[in-house]
Amino acid sequence: MVVDLAQMQNGQSGIVVRLHGGYGFIRHVQAMGITEGKRVTKLASHPLRGPIVVSVDNLQIAIGHGMSKRIFLNIDGR
């Protein structure tokens, strides 16, 4: 099932299948290590549309809520 990063539950992981945005957005997200085919785990989300903390390649990254709604992942069945 494909969902955006904001819709994932804490502790869920998935594979990035699409980055929806312009060249600048995609370049910025890729510079953080989030590229298509990478496994991303959502660690925490803050209430009221705050930042979302994810783990990529053993790094923890905070992503804004707006950006997280444009990163689409295929959720694992776990």
pLDDT digits (tens, 9 = 90+) for 4-15: 999 999 999 999
6 φ/ψ angles, rounded to the nearest 5 degrees: -65, -30
What confidence score (pLDDT) does residue 47 get? Answer: 82
Question: Considering the entire predicted model, what is its pTM?
Answer: 0.90
Nearest of 35, 30, 39 to residue 58 by alpha carbon: 39
Is the pLDDT at 21 greater than 60? The verdict is: yes
List domains and CATH numbers for the chain.
2-75 (2.30.30.90)
32-44 mean pLDDT: 95
pLDDT digits (tens, 9 = 90+) for 39-64: 999 999 988 888 999 999 999 999 99
Is the pLDDT at 66 greater than 60? The verdict is: yes
